[in-house]
Structure 1
Amino acid sequence: LHTASRMPWLFNLRNRLPGAAWLGERLLGLSARRSLPEFRGDTFWRERDATLFTSSDMVIAAACSGRKAAVLFVDTFNGGFESENAWAAARVLKAAGYLLHTVEKFSGHHCCGRTYLASGMVDEARARAGALVDALLPLAEEGVPIVGLEPSCLLTLRDETLAMGLGDKARTVAAQALLFEEFIAREMREGRFKLGLKPAGKPILLHGHCHQKAFGAVSPILEVLKLIPDAKPELIESSCCGMAGSFGYEAAHYEVSMRMAEAALLPAVRSQPDAIVLADGTSCRHQIADGAQRQAVHVARLLDALIA
């Protein structure tokens, strides 16, 4: 991703050059019937708005004095392919009065190791996760909440890091790790989160990511959506969208992937053509785009668009 952001036009030829998708399927096993995520030059880390973030010292000082503060963990997918989601989340939290920090490193960005782990590359995953935990540890030790956007990445901090032998430091970070909506819902219950929003003016359909379902993190999304005047969000009763990371991109799994999507998710999306479709998972959004030709958005994007 770091390399591709320097010449995205080259890496995006697979989606545009006739015959490239067919060749990619034969060489890499990626289904020619799938579009691949578009690489871009304006990633979150290359185009960061410094006005939205401050130093770790200032965020720690704010948190220790009881003021509103958080660290925004920007994952590979939302930072590299859908930077708008990361910007939107930062603007929403900033508008609600939170002082923000985000962790980076000189040669790119920190990764939770999820993609390595999903491919059985445990040592590489442990190294990436360990580096991220080390970067977050000073903030977590001072009680600064760690807020993430991609369910599979943020929840890696709450689950897999504890199983990979990273010890007490991983437990300290895990205790502060919250998904975007989990954090807002908690702050709402404590009377700390207030944000004026306009009505959406359309029905809202919500698809929960598998990790959100496994960790009981779908109900906080519905709680947060109550901030939108007159909103009556409908939860799509579905199983996995069928994409499941790289699974749905692979030619060998394409048919199974689409059957999973057609079991409930895609028919529900098609049944309400005027609805706003929400999905926090990168893979879920891509499945909806491929299967129903609809653009699903992260909850952060909707809240940002409705700030009064």
Structure 2
Amino acid sequence: MSDKQMIEEEERAIYTGDHCLSCTSCMSNCPVMAAAKEYRGPKLVAPAHGRMHFSEDDTELSLDFCSNCKSCDRACPSGVAVSTLNMLQRAEYYRHHPHSQRDDMLAHGERMAKRLNAIPLGTTFANFGMSIGKSLGIFDSMGIAGKRDMPKYASSTFAQEFKKIQQPKSDKKVVFYPGCSINYNEPHIGVAFVKVMNKNGYEVLLDEQFNCCGSPLVVTGYLDEAHEHAENNVSRILYWKQQGIPVVACCTSCSLMLRQEYEELFGEQAMKDAGENVYDAFEFLEMLDAEGKFNTNINAVNQRFLYHVPCHLKTQGIGTPAVSIFRRIPGAKVELADVGCCGMSGNYGFKKDKYDISMKIGEKLFSRIKAAAADGVICDCPTCRMQIRHGTQTDPVHPIEVLAKAYK
């Protein structure tokens, strides 16, 4: 029996399935079900089948269709944590069945990135190898969507770039959680975040004891390993909470995992306590603005932006704080794409057997972007930006990049 303090049983996601009314709200709002008729729907995987707790030696045949976009959670009138229940059922399946090489690769991006960065020119050769692998069809043979470009590694990590930044000292501090994507693929986004926080009077700290949030592990069924990541990250967040220093993330999937999904998946009180000290970057800036502490000494940006709101931002229930902050940028105009899920959902769209589903889900967004009279596309989620780039041949950016460039 674990000695960890758990949250109250009625608050735990694992028990919410009993509140399912079979109303089909989750099914009518599921982007995967709309794109793949063979998917029998989110409520049939865990809220229904999961109640039997695998009492028979079978499993719901469409278990692997759920992308964990959480559209079902937001639609459920009874507060059933449908997607989380689906992830718990997926993990239970993989406790008794082997993972594929493809899933092992997609789940362990941080592990691979660390190994490559430990080798001289490792990332350079890896980028070249991925290009060759795509052209030779190697990724297809592994079950990875060969039509996609794999994310390229940056020549240096954010942690390395961070050490070069000369920050003004300040009594006001935040800890930045870069996540795997910013640390290994897009360090310039983290650099932009540091600039924005410095302009607002904050010194940014980096805790290199953090590891991957665990989202790629959860969606591929490595739940026990994700739990280990959660315990490490929660201990670090609580350490900073004790110092009165908030933890801020620029990736909406990371922030959702840190502040909400740990608690839903594992039900530990420490995870709930830690989640209270985690903020989305623009959420934090919006809080400063509400207190009259946001730096509005900003150059004009006379551009129109189309903003795709990530599913994992919507699930956090904090609105669209980037839109609020962009109203403070002179000349900037922001319009919401407002067409639902992009279809990428983390590593879901990288799977060969899910590629067509992913692209079909994204069709409305692709058409919206192509038809919009916008100067640029902005989005907080790295995999959403990958999907947009792939489906429209445009170059979306994180909104923090626009703000950083606009500051005088």
Same fold (TM over 0.5): yes
Q: Which amino acid aligns with 2:394?
A: R
2:214 to 85, 91, 113: 113
Does 2:116 correspond to 1:4? Answer: yes
Whole-Å separation in 1 of the counterparts to 2:163 and 2:403:
19
State whether structure 2 residue 405 is matched by structure 1 residue 291: no
Q: Count residues with an aligned counterpart.
A: 293
Question: Aligned letter for 2:329?
Answer: I
Give unmatched runs, 5+ long, in structure 2.
1-112
Deviations 1:111-159 (A, max 9, x none): 2111111111111001011111112212112332211011111111111
Distance 2:399 2:199 in 1: 15
Instruction: Say if 2:142 is the partner of 1:43.
Output: no
Larger Rg: 2
SS in 2 for 1:234: strand
Residues 84-121 of structure 1 show CA distances to partners (whole Å, capped at 9, x for unaligned) of 1111001100111112212103xxx5221111111111
Counterpart in the other structure of 2:131: 16
Q: Corresponding residue for 1:25?
A: 140
Q: Which of 89, 96, 100 is the aligned partner of 2:200? A: 96
Distance of 1:167 and 1:213 partners within structure 2: 24
Taking the aligned partners of 1:53 and 1:126, their CA distance within structure 2 comes to 34
* Amino acid in the other structure paired with 1:198: N
Given that residues 150 and 282 in structure 1 are in contact (C-alpha distance below 8 angstroms), is that contact kept between their aligned partners in structure 2?
A: yes
1:197 pairs with 2:298: yes
- 1:158 and 1:8 map into 2 onto residues whose CA distance is 31
Deviations 1:233-286 (A, max 9, x none): 1000111101111111111111111111112x1112112365221011111100
CA 1:48–1:285 in 2, change beyond 3 Å: closer, same or farther? same
Where 2:216 maps in the other structure, the secondary structure is: helix
Question: Aligned equivalents of 2:167 and 2:193: distance in 1?
Answer: 12
Alpha carbons of structure 1 residues 230 and 254: separation in structure 2 relative to 1, 3 Å? same
Residue 287 (structure 1) shift: 0.6
Deviation at 1:74, TM superposition (A): 1.1
CA 1:199/1:53 → structure 2, altered by over 3 Å: closer, same or farther? closer
Question: SS where residue 241 of structure 1 aligns?
Answer: coil
Q: Which amino acid aligns with 2:305?
A: I
Q: Which amino acid aligns with 1:38?
A: K
Give runs of aligned pairs for residues 212-227 of structure 1, distance below 5 A: 212-227=313-328
Contact 1:21 1:31 in 2 (8 A): no
| DSSP 3-state at the match of 1:101 | strand
Does structure 1 conserve the Cα–Cα contact (< 8 Å) formed by 2:134 and 2:149?
Answer: no
Shift of 1:165: 3.7
* Contact 1:206 1:235 (C-alpha < 8 Å) held by counterparts: yes
Q: Among residues 187, 190, 200, which one is paired with 1:83 in the alignment?
A: 187
Distance 1:89 1:252 in 2: 36
- Could you tell me the percent identity over the aligned residues? 25
Deviation at 1:20, TM superposition (A): 4.4
Which letter does structure 1 place at the counterpart of 2:154?
A: R
User: Residue type of the partner of 1:101?
Assistant: L
Displacement of 1:14: 4.2
1:116 match: secondary structure: helix
Q: Mean Cα displacement is larger for which, 277-286 or 169-178?
A: 169-178
Q: Which is worse superposed, 251-260 or 2-11?
A: 2-11
Q: 1:150 aligns with which of 248, 251, 260?
A: 251
2:128 maps to a residue whose letter is L
Query: Contact between 1:112 and 1:129, CA under 8 Å: does it hold in 2?
Result: yes
SS of residue matched to 1:205: strand
SS of the residue 1:138 aligns to: helix
Q: What is the Cα deviation at residue 166 of structure 1? A: 6.7
Q: What corresponds to 1:65 in structure 2?
A: none
Give the Cα–Cα distance (whole angstroms) in 2 for the partners of residues 195 and 71 of structure 1: 23
CA distance in 2, matches of 1:164, 1:211: 16
> 1:75/1:159 Cα in 2 relative to 1: closer, same or farther (>3 Å)?
same
Q: Distance in 2 between matches of 1:41 and 1:231?
A: 32
Task: Give the whole-Å Cα distance in 2 for the aligned partners of 1:172 and 1:53.
Answer: 30
AA matched with 2:407: I
Q: Partner residue of 1:258?
A: 359
Query: Is structure 2 residue 239 aligned with structure 1 residue 138?
Result: yes
**CA distance in structure 1 between the partners assigned to 2:273 and 2:203 by the alignment:** 21
Instruction: Please give the secondary structure, in 2, of the residue aligned with 1:2.
Output: helix
Which whole-Å CA distance do the structure 2 matches of 1:19 and 1:151 have between them? 29
Moved more, 140-149 or 74-83: 140-149
Contact 1:95–1:195 (CA<8 Å) still a contact in 2?
A: no
Q: Is the 8 A contact 1:181 1:221 kept in 2?
A: yes
In 2, Cα distance between equivalents of 1:136 and 1:197: 32
Cα RMSD between the aligned structures?
2.0
For structure 1, the 5+ residue unaligned runs are 63-67
